[in-house]
Amino acid sequence: MRNTKRGFTLIELLVVIAIIAVLIALLLPAVQSAREAARRAQCVNNLKQLGLSLHNYLSSTGAFPPGIVTTADGDAPGELGTWTVWSPQAMLLPYVEQGPLYNAANFSWACCFDGPYADAVNSTVYLTRIAGFLCPSDGNAGVEQINSYLGSLGSSTRSTPADGLTNGVFQVYDANLRTVSVRIAQLTDGTSNTIAFSEALVGDFGKKNNYAGNGMTGVAHWDGKADFLDPATNVPAVMQALQDCNTFWNGTAIIACPGGNCNKSGLKQYGGQLWALGERGYTLFNTVVPPSSTQYPWRICGRTCLNCSPEESNFLNANSNHPGGANFAFADGSVKFLKSSISMQTYWALGSRNGGEVISSDQY
């Protein structure tokens, strides 16, 4: 009797392959979701450490870090070419287990080898990449020593406060161009109701003048209509300015700069470029546009020069690759996920340290 061995038929083989493909299709989203959950948890932990470091700094100095350190080299405070322009993140280094890096910095000299703030003295410091300053969900390695977490200037669009200080946990400088630190007594809304840090996607610095990515965009215009210490004082003007930014971002028009002094060709995707540099968009943001907004899907929009009048005004947005919003560290050290659907008025209130608004947790 002949013994024959029977193999798989083509149909059976195709069925097995189809079953395996279906299983992979079912499992892959679950694996990706688990990975994103792990990345998001790490991001929350990074922000938690920043929140704790903020209070350790507060305990040591009696105030929160300044948004920008302005004095340097024995020159007059506020002389632009010699500002040290160190960031609040740099001030927090000893409290995020980066004491040796902090001790290596010479804070009497400019922080970074960047434009008018250039100084090679601190190159070893500012060229160091700090894992705790990077959100693992960002995915943009960039070409610089980058930063995913920005300090809050509050809901103020004015970032050089000639007529008054902005309303966030961090200040750029005062009307005399001197370093300013906020004290905890100034947070009259309460530390649990005031945003201190958020995440923001890092720009792709190799794609200059590319406005459609995650990095910096800008529009030179304004005529003062978005220049507010508090956007709630003129909501229609804020909304008009946001629409102007959308028009610019979509590439259909560029609004003229007052006096023709603004350098539109200098716009680059430099968001989060340097963690050591105390500057709007690099290490500082404001709470005007809700996080990861689909209605206003750009990173930064505002002035591109220092000598336009009135003062520099910008929308400096928080955003992330986490679905539906972004993580925020509050001034009490807690970390909360704010949805993209949060109302502007609620978001403005959470950014302001002293607006007197009553906010419940179910509003965000």
Asked if residue 229 lies in contact with residue 164, where contact means CB atoms within 8 angstroms, the answer is yes
Average confidence (pLDDT) over 208-231: 47
- The yes-or-no verdict on residue 125 having pLDDT over 70 is yes
- The yes-or-no verdict on residue 28 having pLDDT over 70 is yes
Average confidence (pLDDT) over 102-109: 85
Name the pLDDT band for 346 (thresholds 50, 70, 90).
very high
Q: Report how far residue 92's alpha carbon sits from residue 49's, in angstroms, rounded to the nearest whole number.
A: 10
Average confidence (pLDDT) over 263-282: 67
> How many C-beta neighbours within 10 Å does residue 116 have?
11
Spell out the residues 6+ positions from residue 246 whose beta carbon is closer than 8 angstroms to its own: 296, 298
What's the number of CA atoms in the CB half-sphere (13 Å) around residue 353? 24
Interval 58-80: pLDDT, tens: 999 999 999 888 764 445 544 44
Asked if residue 214 lies in contact with residue 204, where contact means CB atoms within 8 angstroms, the answer is yes
Name the pLDDT band for 44 (thresholds 50, 70, 90).
very high
pLDDT, greater one: 309 or 281 = 281
Residues 133-168, buried b or exposed e (16+ Cβ, 10 A)?
A: bbbbbbebebebbbbbbbbbbbbbbbbbbeeebbbb
Q: What is the pLDDT of residue 212?
A: 30
| 268 burial level (CB within 10 Å; 0-12, 13-18, 19+) | buried
> How much is the mean pLDDT over the chain?
76
CA proximity to 274, closest of 72, 139, 136, 110: 110
Could you give the 3-state DSSP secondary structure of residue 198? strand
Q: What is the pLDDT of residue 237?
A: 78
Q: For residue 102, what are its two tokens?
A: 């902090």
How far, in Å, are 10, 14, 238 from residue 173 at the CA level?
74, 69, 23
Average confidence (pLDDT) over 308-320: 65
CA proximity to 119, closest of 103, 129, 108: 108
Q: What percent of the chain has pLDDT over 70?
A: 71
Name the pLDDT band for 233 (thresholds 50, 70, 90).
confident
Average confidence (pLDDT) over 176-197: 89
Average confidence (pLDDT) over 170-194: 86
Q: Report how far residue 41's alpha carbon sits from residue 61's, in angstroms, rounded to the nearest whole number.
A: 30
- The yes-or-no verdict on residue 326 having pLDDT over 90 is yes
pLDDT, greater one: 360 or 351 = 351
Compute the chain's Rg from CA coordinates: 23
Sorted by where each begins, the domain ranges of the chain are 40-354
| Torsion angle in degrees (nearest 10) through CA of 227, 230, 234, 236 | 80
Residue 79: strand pairing partners: none
Interval 135-153: pLDDT, tens: 988 876 555 678 899 999 9
Q: Report how far residue 197's alpha carbon sits from residue 253's, in angstroms, rounded to the nearest whole number.
A: 33
Please tell me which of 4-8, 188-192, 292-296 the model is most confident about, judged by mean pLDDT: 188-192
Name the pLDDT band for 329 (thresholds 50, 70, 90).
very high
